[in-house]
Chain A
């Protein structure tokens, strides 16, 4: 084994076309009768932040566990960082790092000991291992807690230590399974910033999330997964565009007229209104600004007063509900 090979973050001089970070075809994993992952194809470009978005139980975790060599697929093939996942898992492991959904730390040891343990397993010796551990503690704002046992850490500190533990050697590809689940907003912002900085350093990031804003803000590209299948993929902008060219948002002054307004808008624009009771807001897809104008005029003609209205791209939430709503069996008899 060539121990001097870099983790993969630094492209070798002269290499012009590096293989994709991930190239997977037809991945399947069953647990009993449940097809947790049901034929997923995935291409992830090097250097990208790629998000796998889906609800709980959609198969996100199983999918990345397969790509991180932790679960063997029942069918399909994949290459990760240019190595065959099935035939050469050891080579894949040398180029990746994985931060699982649950902190994979030794609770009884201190933060520094956890990092030292991993640094030594990677092959850093003596003072080099200590220097690596201290650098990472510093970079992740954990120097003060270095000598505390991990079971005394807060959720945010654990998450940071867990990510630090994945970066002993800079991986070519970092898997992050729901990196911000359970974190408070400040800790969440901190993790996002670290993810962006890592991507800036050339690390490809494949993360799963059930938060739409997380995918929207971080990811260059998003795959939407539901019931073990990929139901859409693209940039945030593409996904929004695919759902409809735009969305009309209106807010009524009188919440009592919400029903009437919804019926009028649906009749005009031929879609399904999404309403939120608080603030008496309605959203509906509108193909063109002209149609949106006509719809607004019809509301005014009926004497419905508007507190606010706006024409915008659909939010990723709307995209997500449109996509998963379409794939679940609840056919409302509407068409887009």
Chain B
């Protein structure tokens, strides 16, 4: 009864296989590794297009709500308000988007998929580079959708196409910088919803106590001081300048401060956390 099954008589339906050893091809470069992970992100858009819906619904609602409900009271007319508000809502969109990549990472880590990646002889940061490529695509798609809606509602970028392209480049950089915060959260926290909650409780004060929705001129002094130093305000000012004309290099340098600092600080932390597990 306990004897092993007869090796010479395989059960029906289970064919006998012969495995031919397959040798390893020449090792791919780090860039090639990263691009493969980028390809994975693109496949995800194809298989899970719903994720884009989550990403653009909030900013679309914000745009419509603020423009038509508050716009007249805040800036005289909805159209004038949109002119002020749209660059800001683009900044809000990319910062909120960054939270989702942290959630995705946390989901992946919970499933053991990263164990496979970590046991492969590849560039250790490649999965994160791939995540970033996916993020950049997400930022571009979401920002384009918001811009198109803005154009339909009557927004006019006075700096023209070049200004818009430069603004998008800055937006991607901003999203990239904030991305590290949520990648670190994603590595530390195994519950995707907790990553989201923490992410938004970090972002809400930054986004609302900024100059995205209103000019801080009417705010009390202490709040105005915070709003003016808030990196989100600095970014919004620069994006406004790029799209509406009248930007200065100083503004752009200030806007880049936070993304550069976050990258310099958190990229090594990410690598350490990833290796430690």
Contacts and interface: CB of A to CB of B under 8 A. Distances in A.
* A, B bound: yes
Interface of A: 1-7, 9-10, 65, 68-72, 90, 93-94, 96-98, 100-110, 113, 117-118, 120-125, 128, 132, 139, 141, 149, 165, 167-170, 186, 189-190, 193-194, 196-198, 200-203, 213, 216-217, 315
Given A71-B277, A100-B116, A196-B7, 13 more contacts: A3-B26, A10-B23, A70-B115, A70-B119, A93-B120, A100-B115, A108-B48, A122-B28, A132-B22, A169-B24, A170-B23, A197-B16, A201-B19
Contacts of A167: 19, 22
A217 B119 contact: no
A190 B115 contact: no
Contact of B121 (A70, A93, A104, A202): A93
Contact of A217 (B5, B11, B16, B40): B5
Contact of B23 (A169, A197, A200): A169
> At the interface, is chain B mostly helix, strand, loop or mixed?
loop
Contact of A104 (B26, B33, B48, B111): B111
A217 B47 CA distance: 41
B119 A94 contact: no
Given A104-B116, A315-B2, A3 B27 contact: yes
Contacts of B276: 72
B18 to A, nearest CB: 7
B22 A7 contact: yes
24 contacts: A3-B26, A3-B27, A5-B24, A7-B22, A7-B24, A10-B23, A68-B119, A70-B118, A71-B277, A98-B119, A100-B112, A102-B112, A104-B111, A108-B47, A109-B40, A109-B44, A120-B36, A122-B28, A123-B28, A139-B19, A141-B15, A170-B23, A200-B19, A201-B21
A65 B24 CA distance: 23
A139 B111 contact: no
Contacts of A2: 27
Contact of B44 (A3, A105, A108, A197): A108
Given A4-B24, A121-B28, A104 B19 contact: no
B122 A121 contact: yes
A201 B20 contact: yes
A139 B17 contact: yes
A65 B118 CA distance: 11
Nearest to A128: B25
Contacts, number: 149
Contact of A216 (B4, B17, B24): B4
Nearest to A316: B2
B192 to A, nearest CB: 14
B43 interface: yes
Interface residues on B, range: 35 or more
A124 B25 contact: yes
Interface of B: 2, 4-5, 7, 10-11, 13-28, 32-33, 36, 39-40, 43-44, 47-48, 108, 111-122, 126, 276-277
B14 A104 contact: no
A103 to B, nearest CB: 7
Nearest to B48: A108
A132 B23 CA distance: 11
A80 to B, nearest CB: 11
B36 A117 contact: yes
A106 B24 contact: no
A289 B193 CA distance: 65
B43 A170 contact: no
A69 B118 contact: yes
A202 B119 contact: no
Contact of A121 (B5, B36, B111): B36
Q: Which residue, A123, A190, A196, A213, has most C-beta atoms of chain B within 10 A?
A: A123
What 8 A-B pairs are tightest by C-beta distance, nearest first? A3-B26, A3-B27, A104-B116, A201-B19, A123-B28, A123-B25, A170-B21, A6-B23
A193 B120 contact: no
Contacts of B5: 189, 217
Given A69-B118, A122-B120, A123-B24, A149 B47 contact: yes
A204 to B, nearest CB: 12
Contacts of A69: 118-119
